[in-house]
Structure 1
């Protein structure tokens, strides 16, 4: 688990870089996302296949993506991630249009949410809400939240 928002941003960048184009086959897609979590350091190879560890790594990944988006808009990363996910799901373009990093963060978040369907019986958006609450707590504790 990352120890600071700066560590989280680095983990998010590694996660984004490690995500390959995702296959259509759901099982292979889940494997690819778990592979990216391993490559990013958010998941340990000894925990692969252990649902609670995968769930924690997935939550940490979503939290890290929100910290990454905080970098350009302090205190707004969680809301920005949610807006990007909803815009894609509902086929609209937010204003201003997302940049490349934001699009890659959104795609990584969708991949992580897909993985939750294999390991969590809860609604993926409820899971996302919990990850964003963790983000808010970490930002508050580190003193990087919006004034």
Structure 2
């Protein structure tokens, strides 16, 4: 999954790693939201985002540990027995953000890709329309 954000690298990087921003963009659909986010943004540091259905019917904590952080380039993290990589690259139109992740068994790979892409699309909208907090 990837998107290009029409914003400077510093704003994109900050919005991806700042808990005040994360609660504004981290949801795969309009009927979900992130109610709380904590970030210890360093290799070995933990993160947690409380994701909940807006109707209160379901919620879970998306938690993990940062394994690699290269400022303005790459974030790698582990969540459970899975891994994800977020890459940032300056391009003429702004910053391209690409996410790759280990899939899980419960949902189809298409559902997982759609969900991660929807979150990335909300991230793009947040940065382009509100900037970083």
Query: Normalising TM by the smaller chain, what interval?
Result: 0.3 to 0.5
TM-score (norm 1): 0.32
Structure with greater helix percent: 1
TM-score (norm 2): 0.34
Structure with greater strand percent: 2
